[in-house]
Structure 1
Amino acid sequence: MPSAPKPNGGPRHGARGRARREEILRGAMEVIAERGFRGSSLAAVAEKAGLTQQGLLHYFPTKDELLVAVLRQRDEWDTGGRPEAVEDEWTMLNLEAVVEANAARPELIRTFSALLGESVTEDHPAREYFHDRYRRTRRGMESVLRREWGERLPSGLTPAQAAPLLVAIMDGLQLQWLHEPEAVDLVDAYRNFVLLLDPEAAR
């Protein structure tokens, strides 16, 4: 077992440690995207990150800890490190910007989608994370929709009714796009869905 890092030092702390940690997470994303979580190994991630497996364990003592860190890193990138901003400040333009960013990072989306699909099994270590994430994301989308249109969207739906549909569109479009990027324009399809919520916006 690697020794625990000191509070103000050690491999997990400082700019160098943070940079190395991000390298590991990027390597993990690539490996998971290629093999899925169950087919991935710490040894494969360590090799991708240019470390020994023992070196990797200084940062992530278990595979499950690495998995959760990968998922949380993706959330940090999406929200700029401020997940509360989705509920408190974001607009539909912020959501469109996320969709545009996702279209430029297929490896990250492939990793997320692979983990999401696997997480529906009872014993998957990311099951609780995705359960909580979807609950939080629906709440955030409801807040965004309410800021945009008030208590009733032009389509007649309430923000609470439209929120799970918006989440489903964003995640579902990503799967179609990963399979056929030449046939599915991720950003354009998202904008078309927004027009269904507000047909007047097309005029």
Structure 2
Amino acid sequence: MATSGPVRATSGSPIPAKRYTKGDRTKERIVDAAAELFSKSGYLAVSLRDIAGAAGLTHAGALHHFPGGKDELLMRVLERRDQIDADVLFDEHLDAWDHLDQLLHIVERNAMTPGLVALYAKLSNEASDTDHPAHTYFRRRYEILREHFAGILGELAGDRPGPRPDPDAAAQQLIALLDGLQTQWLLAPDTIDMRGRLIDFLALLGIDTSRWESDPG
């Protein structure tokens, strides 16, 4: 797979677009296999041999591309997904309303990717063990999300009259809601409306949700 079109230097001379090597494509295939198996069975129940087999490689072949083994693959899977979310969720050019728009879009996207939702649900639960290789990753991830959402909710709360919810507490509640909804949705996808319940929660915080209630996404 190659990026499309040339990239041009400041001088105007064309620089060929970077192309993935055979090794790059193999690594992507291994990461894809790891993501699928982790989402189905969790991290602990999957071996590097399982991942290698799913990717059409030997155990030694997988180790050649990922010398750090299963731990390295786990972090690669998590980092790849975070790169996608960070581009839309943490854009510094967006205002508080735009950030909430992006959060709604992510929830809508998650409803179409049950495998990835299951991956995060399983791994975040497993990673509560301090010896889990993703423990620090998830602890830091939640710290970043709490700070991010507290800033957004605090900014919007400043626009409303009357008592205002504590932004830090509201951010914790928001994340707990999202995690809990995802687990319930995985168990009963035809019953749980993640987007709708998120909008309901924002309304309880005193946020004007009319901009989303008329938009099914």
Q: Which residue identity does 1:68 align to in structure 2?
A: M
Whether 1:76 and 2:83 are equivalent positions in the alignment is yes
Q: Alignment identity in percent?
A: 35
Whether 1:22 and 2:66 are equivalent positions in the alignment is no
Q: Distance in 2 between matches of 1:123 and 1:169?
A: 26
- Structure 1's unaligned 5+ residue stretches are 1-12
Q: Distance in 1 between matches of 2:208 and 2:40?
A: 42
Tell me whether 45-54 or 115-124 shows the greater mean CA deviation.
45-54
Ranked by relative contact order (alpha carbons within 8 Å, sequence separation 6 or more), the top structure is 1
Structure with higher Rg: it is 2
- Structure 2's unaligned 5+ residue stretches are 1-17
Alpha carbons of 1:197 and 1:83: their partners in 2 closer, same or farther (altered >3 Å)? closer
What value does the CA root-mean-square deviation take over the aligned residues? 2.6
- In the other structure, the counterpart of 1:115 is 123
**Superposition deviation, residue 189 in structure 1:** 1.6
Whether 1:142 and 2:158 are equivalent positions in the alignment is no
Give yes or no for contact 1:154–1:197 (8 Å, CA) kept in 2: no
Whether 1:131 and 2:139 are equivalent positions in the alignment is yes
**Superposition deviation, residue 152 in structure 1:** 6.7
Q: Which residue identity does 1:195 align to in structure 2?
A: A
- In the other structure, the counterpart of 2:109 is 101
- In the other structure, the counterpart of 2:171 is 163
**Superposition deviation, residue 60 in structure 1:** 1.7
Give yes or no for contact 2:40–2:115 (8 Å, CA) kept in 1: no
Whether 1:38 and 2:44 are equivalent positions in the alignment is yes
**Superposition deviation, residue 22 in structure 1:** 2.9
TM normalised by structure 2 equals 0.76
TM normalised by structure 1 equals 0.81
Q: Distance in 2 between matches of 1:175 and 1:194?
A: 20
Tell me whether 97-106 or 164-173 shows the greater mean CA deviation.
164-173
